[in-house]
Chain A
């Protein structure tokens, strides 16, 4: 290996320092592996901190009838049966243990009267199931994991971005990255790599996601030869802020509805009666998002094109205690006192159900040595994720990924790094500096967001998506000709030019998968195919890199064992 590059070697390299990445790192450390965690931003700033509502785990502290079976059932139904049933089973069975563990590492959840972890109601969950800390559950989780990991002794590489996964024949061998601060490149050599990079929201303009959510993990895995799955399932959260313009898309937690918030249109009608009279506001996210969208489209929207969400019928003190960050968010950003008046909300892109295809037990991708967990991985949530299932996903499959990655590292010899991959990765990343007079990468990003919002949004139709593919091809061309001002030191324009490539890859994957799936299921709604199709219900859409083109196929879902079918058949 040339000494031109700073090089670090680990048994397990975890990419991403959110809930899944940290949980994976802790588990791998516990197995005695040497662990490095690479994070695009500072430690503790991961997107997990924005998770508000809670962690879904059938602990039955509040509703004693709850158990893994009802949780499994809710998850499968919420995901419109497209979920990997084994993942859904493991998730429902292991989540309570993971939450208890978190508490034993110092997390402080809200308490029940009898001194246990309090659980709240949430959309799509039959029982009160979400363990929470006011409306900042994700922050509590990140701090707890962060401190545990730091004191167990993983190495953290902060503000460091991976640009390429390195392979050794048919296995993952590490990664090439650059320090955001200096722009210098760094090589990580690892026997196992865990992708815990989160989602892809930044390809859309109205999103609750942070700048980091550019789909890097999925794009990197795809480039390295791993398969992606169910990329058409992109969740729009029904309640994002719609006014003022600067805050458009910022999340309004589902906990508002969990605590009794009511949705109304401009005529004051509680319109959920028309869309899901049984579950009303606590219907699944796909249904509520489409309902709001439809109300607005049919002229019953609020002044700024949303719906009213009202919690002001609850006592002011209760609202402030249970939803403190929402109270402050609206007070400070929108001049609205939510204890007195209604919020204006509308759909915002929130979560990616699809991602890197993994095995249920080990979280290993189709590329040996490459693992994935959390939002970057596909399977658990099927066609639509239930609120609260994300934080539990991070814990359950973060742990499994870390365990399996450490195991894999024990069983395999150190890989060899191919210097050709490193130098070509470097020169590709730097290419924008070579060009003069090209476009500002931010301009290309804005146009990409427009394409995805207008053509691959909540409701989809063939003509739009075909047009989107044409537009994406043009954008790819433009992205290849951007140029950069300034030096390599902390240069966001340059970073954007690299992230654009990831966003374009995942946007294309979303569009191609969405075009292929000729039905409406969960978060994927086709105007031209408005019904659930039993045939499509047995298929996952798979994306892989076929040379320089994007390969696309359908794989049949594995047959569900009889006992799980039985669980689904029991209604309560």
Chain B
């Protein structure tokens, strides 16, 4: 049986190093299978986060050969053969142990976003055309690969000022919900720092659910922010309307 050489990060917040493991390769095997083999036979204390192993829960995110991936969907035969496979934890979040990182920051950001709030008198009668767009955003499995690859977090450490692609997708899912009655535009501009995003699309490239994060969520939200904060004509229109109403 063929063998693969894995170089897996082992360590904790104080540091660590790559450790090599030889793993037998079976047809159709994914990187997570290889990690399980290591746990089961070579290093039972290798820390790996995973749940469904079917690409539905978004737990097993890591960087395989330098690319952010779900290890359960990364086929061994899709990687260069006869070369070691490096597996390291998500770079953007602090390591807890081995491949497990502390992603709690994401849950804190999520708490800032006002939840779904129905419009007063919502009829609950709406159509597929109204929901298609939002259903795309709701495919998100919170693997946080987009957060990990986003350079605003990864390289510029803007954890205090920026929400990250995942939460733009979430806000898009709420703001474009046909029955939602709250605007989150101000939050986007001020607390989630959507202006820091320079739409360089790495989030879209890594999304395992094929959500068009940049084109369908972030850019439309940026346009909504423009409506409210940057478009002088709309500002005048609002002022006039406001004056009339009062």
Contact (A105, B45) CB under 8 Å given A247-B28, A332-B73: no
A491 close to chain B: CB less than 8 A? yes
Min C-beta distance of B121 to chain A, whole Å: 13
B 80-98 to A, binary, CB cutoff 8 A, 1 in contact else 0: 0000000000000000111
- Whether B28 lies near A245 (C-beta < 8 A) is yes
- Whether B44 lies near A246 (C-beta < 8 A) is no
- Whether A210 lies near B116 (C-beta < 8 A) is no
A247 to B126, CA, bound (A): 39
B12 close to chain A: CB less than 8 A? yes
B 50-65 to A, binary, CB cutoff 8 A, 1 in contact else 0: 1111111111000000
- Whether B59 lies near A42 (C-beta < 8 A) is yes
Q: Which of A114, A244, A250, A485 interacts with B45 by CB under 8 Å? A: A485
A108 close to chain B: CB less than 8 A? yes
A 498-512 to B, binary, CB cutoff 8 A, 1 in contact else 0: 000000000000000
Q: Which of A116, A243, A329, A492 interacts with B28 by CB under 8 Å? A: A243
A115 to B127, CA, bound (A): 5
A110 to B135, CA, bound (A): 9
Contact-residue size bin, chain A (C-beta under 8 Å from the other chain): 35 or more
A433 to B131, CA, bound (A): 53
A489 to B111, CA, bound (A): 28
Contact (A110, B128) CB under 8 Å given A44-B142, A211-B51: yes
A364 to B101, CA, bound (A): 38
In A111-164, which residues have CB < 8 Å from any B CB? 111, 113-116, 133-134, 136, 139-140, 143-144, 147-148, 150-151, 158
- Whether A490 lies near B97 (C-beta < 8 A) is yes
A151 to B116, CA, bound (A): 10
B187 close to chain A: CB less than 8 A? no
Contact (A104, B53) CB under 8 Å given A134-B135, A150-B110: no
Chain B residues whose C-beta falls within 8 Å of the C-beta of A116 in the assembled complex: 125
B177 close to chain A: CB less than 8 A? yes
A260 close to chain B: CB less than 8 A? no
B 113-150 to A, binary, CB cutoff 8 A, 1 in contact else 0: 01110100000111110110011001101100000000
Q: Which of A43, A50, A244, A440 interacts with B52 by CB under 8 Å? A: A50
B196 close to chain A: CB less than 8 A? no
A181 to B44, CA, bound (A): 16
B158 close to chain A: CB less than 8 A? no
**Which of A105, A210, A328 has the largest count of B CB atoms less than 10 A from its CB?**
A210
B221 close to chain A: CB less than 8 A? no
- Whether B131 lies near A246 (C-beta < 8 A) is no
- State the interface size on chain B (CB cutoff 8 A): 60
In B138-173, which residues have CB < 8 Å from any A CB? 138-139, 141-142
Min C-beta distance of B74 to chain A, whole Å: 9
A441 close to chain B: CB less than 8 A? yes
- Whether A491 lies near B47 (C-beta < 8 A) is yes
Chain A residues whose C-beta falls within 8 Å of the C-beta of B130 in the assembled complex: 111
- Whether A490 lies near B98 (C-beta < 8 A) is yes
- Whether B125 lies near A115 (C-beta < 8 A) is yes
Contact (A108, B177) CB under 8 Å given A43-B107, A45-B59, A103-B124: yes
In B165-212, which residues have CB < 8 Å from any A CB? 174, 177, 179-180, 210
Closest to A332 in B: B73
A 239-258 to B, binary, CB cutoff 8 A, 1 in contact else 0: 00001111100110000000
B26 close to chain A: CB less than 8 A? yes
B22 close to chain A: CB less than 8 A? no
- Whether A49 lies near B73 (C-beta < 8 A) is no
Closest to B48 in A: A492
Q: Which of B27, B39, B96 interacts with A442 by CB under 8 Å? A: B39
- Whether A47 lies near B51 (C-beta < 8 A) is yes
A383 close to chain B: CB less than 8 A? no
Min C-beta distance of A342 to chain B, whole Å: 17
In A278-328, which residues have CB < 8 Å from any B CB? 325, 328
Chain A residues whose C-beta falls within 8 Å of the C-beta of B97 in the assembled complex: 181, 489-490
Q: Would you list the 10 A-B pairs with minimal beta carbon distance, nearest first? A: A244-B28, A493-B44, A106-B116, A486-B45, A115-B125, A490-B47, A442-B40, A151-B115, A490-B97, A210-B51
Binding site for B on A (CB under 8 A): 41-45, 47, 49-50, 100, 103-106, 108, 110-111, 113-116, 133-134, 136, 139-140, 143-144, 147-148, 150-151, 158, 181, 208, 210-212, 243-247, 250-251, 325, 328-329, 332-334, 440-443, 446, 484-487, 489-494, 496
Binding site for A on B (CB under 8 A): 12, 26-30, 33, 39-41, 43-59, 73, 75, 96-98, 100, 103-104, 107, 110-111, 114-116, 118, 124-128, 130-131, 134-135, 138-139, 141-142, 174, 177, 179-180, 210
Name 11 A/B residue pairs within 8 A (Cβ), A-sorted.
A43-B107, A110-B131, A111-B130, A148-B115, A244-B26, A246-B26, A332-B55, A333-B30, A440-B44, A443-B40, A486-B44
Sample of 17 more A-B contacts, CB < 8 Å, known A50-B56, A136-B56, A243-B28: A41-B51, A41-B59, A45-B51, A49-B52, A50-B52, A108-B135, A110-B131, A133-B138, A148-B115, A150-B110, A246-B29, A332-B73, A332-B75, A484-B44, A487-B45, A489-B47, A494-B45
